[in-house]
Amino acid sequence: MSKPTPISGFPEWLPAQRMIEQNVIERIRDTFELYGFAPLETRAVEPMDQLLRKGETSKEVYVLRRLQEDPAAGGGDDALGLHFDLTVPFARFVLENSGKLQFPFRRYQIQKVWRGERPQEGRYREFLQADIDVVDRDTLPFHYDTEMPLVIGDAFRSLPIPPATILVNNRKVCEGFYRGLGLEDPDEVLRIIDKLDKIGPAKVGQLLADKIGATSAQIDACLRLAEISATDGSFVDAVRKLNVDNDLLNEGLEELSRVVEAAAEHAPGLVRAELKIARGLDYYTGTVYETQLQGYERFGSICSGGRYENLASTGSERFPGVGISIGVSRMLGLLFGHQALSVSRSVPTCVVVALPQEELRGRCDKIAQDLRSRRISTEVAPSAAKFGKQIRFAERRGIPYVWFPGADGEPDTVKDIRSGEQVEADAASWMPPAQDLLPAISVS
């Protein structure tokens, strides 16, 4: 068999990286549950009409089809696709189970998703997301919009990653401002403004003139709004100085102020108002979030979300919500790619029990079981080689301790192979230092 060729966009981490990923997932889950979010897992597939509700193009959706399916039969599995995010499946779940849920409903999901886009650094076709959402029936109080960044801030502070900044905007600010200028297609303006970082203000201005007929004064006002950025409420005065008045703009400024000021009080430096953010034009209706890692800003957002009023609705029922999603694979992929994360050992094992001779394997297994009973990860040496070779086996994998069974009634000993210190030990009571019990993750 020839050596397999990797498939781009479908990451497979090495064991040490997988341990880091699992540690990150556990810490994120702990934070979500501390805030009262309940776990949920939805199916991997959704009907195509559901998947396309969120405005994604069909070329990004992977279709599910049986190999032997008869295309002439019509319908069938070709109407199903793999979900490309967790918000659409969640909205569908809420609609199907609204009679069984207590509202407001707070849930988290940590699952794989699939998206058929061009793979590049930090962007994959199969990746892990960690989402939280709060939905309510008919109306959702705005204070949940202020809570989202605080949850994510706590989650990020628990992780071995660089500091993060959550950028926030409000669709009402932008739409109200553009309408106040006399521009009647705010979505198109937002789409053009969203190109600022890629093509610069001159080309953005030209697009505004060419596509929507904006005047030079309107273009200047749009570009000046996009420049506004602040970690406190001062952005409101900056917008007011542009002399645009609109009721929707005023409403958006009040809401955005509440998000920024709540974060400034509880987590100074976490949130920054950034009035050029435009995302989710087909479904977000108010607050929007993007998150950048310090030192990795050029790669864009690793956590995003916002307020949606109409995604989960059918007939007379409406379940507005607000949510935010951590791109776990995206975040880790960037950090792995820059060798920014490391783990103290490549296996969970804390102790290797040395095997003096094969006939004593049963005794060594008993020692290992005693240690495992107290949650100390332990394995027995694979063979009764010379002790020097068994120690090197532990060293190569970063395992800190080797346990030596005592001979002829002598007590057992355990050796810290990093320092060389060796002491008597009883498998029923010995404990390693807390910092050695589990692999330690560090960021550089």
86 is in an annotated binding site: yes
Burial 8-37 (b: 16+ CB within 10 A, else e): ebebeeeebbebbbebbbebbbebbeebeb
Distance from the first to the final alpha carbon of the chain = 40
34 is in an annotated binding site: no
Q: Which residues neighbour 189 within 8 Å (Cβ) at sequence distance 6 or greater?
A: 174, 178, 183, 208, 212, 214, 222
Number of H helices, E strands in the chain: 14, 21
**Beta strand segments in 171-248, E:** 229-230
Quote the CA–CA distance of 393 and 388 in Å, as a whole number.
9
Quote the CA–CA distance of 131 and 133 in Å, as a whole number.
7
279 is in an annotated binding site: yes
372 is in an annotated binding site: no
392 is in an annotated binding site: no
178 is in an annotated binding site: no
Nearest to 9 by CA among 130, 113, 131, 109: 113
Quote the CA–CA distance of 249 and 438 in Å, as a whole number.
51
* Cβ contact 331:23 at 8 Å: no
85 is in an annotated binding site: yes
- Nearest 10 degrees: Cα torsion 428, 432, 433, 438: -120
345 is in an annotated binding site: no
365 is in an annotated binding site: no
Q: Which residues are annotated as a binding site for L-histidine?
A: 85-87, 115, 129, 133, 279, 283-284
Q: Which residues are annotated as a binding site?
A: 85-87, 115, 129, 133, 279, 283-284
